[in-house]
């Protein structure tokens, strides 16, 4: 709740004025039964048409003024709630962007999306209704009770009994429904996860004709959500009928008490009508309050989920010293060195990497090869500090990466991930992810090196070529070459190519490797690949086997010393050529 108040502080005036204007509206509403009572006791009883007309104009005036106050209050409440929701969503997005891969892996992408959209919207709607009704409804309820006692003390006794009973019912249902709404939101996370997986993997689902199985899985998830929503809905639905029953019993009691007093002459007919009207006002407001309680239950459950993300501290902070440029350091300092490095993913008992040690000098190329799941990508992710190693030390140009700020590291590291990812927009905008102020000449140079210039020119739009979301209007090889160009345009000191040519044919792959060798003399290059041909000319080759080093040296050295490397070479079409050279 303290965090929510923080988002209301920038707009104190509208946040305070919204409920105050609602109270002013409610004040005028409380006078209506008294005016009606006077119309009955004076205007109708004495057949005074002039008085009746005057009271009618008074009622119309009260309605117009109350309506004006209501519109103003709702405008202020909506503006305050939307402003708070926008700021919360923006801060949550910024906070999520501070997470390392460890936190994102732990929480899950679908959960983060759901909390930034659905949960924040629930909080925003709950805040809007809270500002409009949290003062108005209790004010009308207790104000109507007080006004009833001013009309007649004995006849207002049912009010003193009815209202506490109603409040007990409302709070009992609130306390029972809040934990259930939390379960509903968790199940909504699962539905969103299923939806996201199917939409992103629609081609795979159709390729293996698994539509029916996925439909059945989605039905199971939505069915579970439906059952949870129905269960909590049944509990929440008790509010309205219970409220109506209690209020109508109160009206019966008012009519019974009031009827006897009218016969005794202690109470007028207009006063009885005023008491009934006050009881009806209480009924209306308690129905609103009941709906507000349901909405607040959802909002509080969503707020706790949003707070859980805010309270999750990133394991890698932005603090740290700046990484010195390679040009300003002695040439005998390794660009990257691993010293007995080990790493385990969150929740995993087994280390994905263990005992990794090597050094790569500036301008050298290190090839990394190994079987599927051997830890090649995990090792690559440790260099730009997407993860922190759990044991050992990683140094960039002699500096421990844990002492450096991630932002400064990534200014010197160009990363081409295993999965080629592009964003909607122009080709120019996508390439400038690697360097914000890159000129068209620099972009074309990067495209030439990445062997992407030919197909870009064939498209006819040049750097203004429109890229659809995820690069769906490009082939896999074209996307990979553009992601390589994006990393090259910034001319990083360290370039990491994580199996980034898997979709390229051998001829294009060969031209790409040749261009990278010719244009990256001062860069330290990490080549991660399943192909021996891609890494055989590297200065050093690291062979990984189930997270452990299984060989380190040149291509020729490994052919003599590493059985695993020999096996990998033999399993590929160039096996005999590899041994021959």
Encode pLDDT of 463-482 as tens digits: 888 888 878 888 888 888 89
Helix (H, G, I), strand (E, B) or coil at 348: coil
What pLDDT score does 79 carry? Answer: 92
Query: Can you list the pairs that 183-188 forms with residues at least 24 positions away whose Cβ atoms lie under 8 Å?
Result: 183/228, 183/232, 184/225, 184/228, 184/229, 184/232, 184/301, 185/114, 185/118, 185/119, 185/301, 185/302, 185/305, 187/221, 187/224, 187/225, 187/228, 188/114, 188/118, 188/225
Residues near 357 by Cβ (< 8 Å), separated by ≥ 6? 338, 339, 340, 341, 392, 549
Q: How far is CA 204 from the centre of its chain?
A: 26
pLDDT in tens, 165-192: 877 887 777 777 777 877 887 787 788 7
Long-range CB contacts (within 8 A, 24+) of 45-50: 45/269, 45/270
pLDDT > 90: percent of the chain: 13
Position with higher pLDDT, 381 vs 272: 381
Pairing of strands 353-360, 494-498: unpaired
Question: Can you give the pTM of this predicted structure?
Answer: 0.73
Mean pLDDT, to the nearest integer, of 83-96? 92
Element (H, E) at 112: helix 109-114
Q: What is the DSSP-derived secondary structure letter of residue 539?
A: S
**Which residues face 498 on adjacent strands?**
528
Judged by average pLDDT, the poorest of 381-395, 469-483, 508-522 is 508-522
Q: Is 111's pLDDT higher than 60?
A: yes
Q: Which residue has the higher pLDDT, 509 or 448?
A: 448
- Confidence check: pLDDT of 579 > 50: no
Q: 354 by DSSP, 3-state: which?
A: strand
- What residues does 245 pair with on adjacent strands? none
Which of 48-57, 149-158, 326-335 is predicted most confidently?
48-57
pLDDT for the residue numbered 329: 64
Q: What pLDDT band is residue 328 in, cutting at 50, 70 and 90?
A: low
| pLDDT tops 70 at residue 37 | yes
Q: Is 188 helix (H, G, I), strand (E, B) or coil?
A: helix
The secondary structure element, H or E, covering residue 542 is strand 540-545
Question: Rounded distance, CA 527 to CA 536, Å?
Answer: 10
Residue 578 banded pLDDT, cuts 50, 70, 90: very low
Query: H or E segment at 353?
Result: strand 353-360
Ranges 222-231, 310-319, 326-335, 361-370: which has the least confidence: 326-335
At residue 343, the pLDDT reads: 92
- Tell how strand 425-426 and strand 466-467 pair up: antiparallel
Distance from C-alpha of 555 to C-alpha of 538, rounded to nearest angstrom: 8
Q: What is the DSSP letter of 47?
A: T
Q: Which residue has the higher pLDDT, 148 or 524?
A: 524
């Amino acid at each position: 709740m303290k965090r929510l108040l923080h988002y209301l502080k920038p707009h104190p005036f509208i946040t305070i004025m919204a409920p105050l204007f609602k109270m002013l509206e409610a004040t005028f509403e409380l006078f209506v039964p008294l005016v009606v009572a006077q119309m009955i006791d004076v205007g109708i009883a004495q057949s005074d048409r002039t008085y009746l007309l005057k009271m009618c104009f008074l009622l119309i005036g009260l309605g117009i003024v109350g309506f004006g106050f209501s519109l103003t209050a709702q405008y202020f409440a909506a503006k305050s709630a939307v402003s708070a929701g926008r700021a919360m969503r923006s801060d949550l997005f910024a906070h999520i962007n501070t997470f390392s891969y460890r936190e994102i892996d732990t929480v899950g992408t679908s959960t983060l999306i759901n909390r930034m959209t659905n949960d924040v919207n629930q909080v925003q709607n709950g805040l809007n209704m809270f500002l409009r009704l949290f003062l108005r409804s209790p004010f009308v309820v207790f104000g109507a009770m007080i006004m009833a006692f001013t009309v007649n003390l004995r006849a207002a006794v049912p009010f003193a009994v009815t209202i506490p009973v109603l409040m007990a019912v409302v709070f009992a249902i609130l306390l029972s429904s809040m934990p259930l709404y939390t379960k509903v939101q968790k199940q909504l996370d699962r539905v969103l996860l299923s939806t996201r997986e199917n939409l992103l993997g629609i081609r795979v689902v159709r390729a293996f004709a698994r539509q029916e199985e996925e439909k059945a899985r989605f039905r199971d998830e939505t069915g579970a959500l439906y059952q949870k929503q129905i269960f909590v809905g049944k509990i929440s639905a008790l509010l309205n009928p219970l409220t109506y029953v209690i209020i109508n019993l109160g009206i019966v009691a008012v009519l019974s008490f009031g009827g006897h007093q009218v016969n005794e002459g202690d109470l007028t007919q207009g006063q009885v009508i005023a008491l009934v009207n006050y009881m009806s006002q209480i009924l209306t407001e308690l129905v609103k309050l009941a709906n507000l309680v349901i909405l607040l239950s959802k909002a509080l459950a969503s707020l706790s989920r949003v707070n859980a993300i805010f309270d999750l501290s990133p394991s890698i902070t932005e603090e740290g010293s700046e990484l010195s440029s390679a040009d300003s350091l002695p040439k005998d300092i390794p660009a990257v060195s691993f010293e007995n490095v080990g790493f385990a993913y969150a929740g995993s008992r087994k280390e994905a990497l263990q005992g990794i040690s090597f050094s790569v000098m500036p301008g050298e190329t290190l090839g990394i090869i190994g079987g599927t799941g051997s830890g090649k990508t995990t090792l690559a992710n440790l260099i730009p500090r997407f993860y922190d190693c759990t044991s050992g030390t990683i140094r960039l140009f002699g500096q421990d990466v844990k002492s450096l700020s991630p932002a400064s590291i990534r200014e010197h590291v160009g990363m081409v991930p295993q999965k080629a990812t592009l964003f909607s927009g122009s080709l120019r905008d996508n390439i400038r992810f690697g360097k914000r102020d890159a000129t068209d000449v620099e972009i074309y140079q990067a495209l030439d090196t990445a062997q992407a210039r030919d197909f870009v020119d064939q498209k006819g739009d040049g750097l203004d070529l429109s890229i659809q979301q995820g690069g769906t209007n490009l082939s896999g090889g074209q996307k990979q070459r553009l992601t390589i160009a994006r990393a090259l345009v910034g001319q990083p000191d360290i370039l990491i190519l994580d199996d980034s040519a898997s979709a390229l044919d051998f001829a294009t792959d060969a031209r790409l490797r040749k261009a990278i060798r010719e244009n990256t003399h001062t860069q330290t290059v990490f080549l991660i690949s399943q192909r021996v041909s891609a890494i055989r000319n590297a200065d050093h080759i690291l062979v990984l086997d189930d997270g452990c080093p299984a060989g380190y040296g040149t291509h020729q050295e490994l052919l003599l010393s590493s059985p695993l490397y020999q096996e990998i070479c033999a399993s590929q079409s160039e096996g005999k050529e590899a041994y021959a050279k």
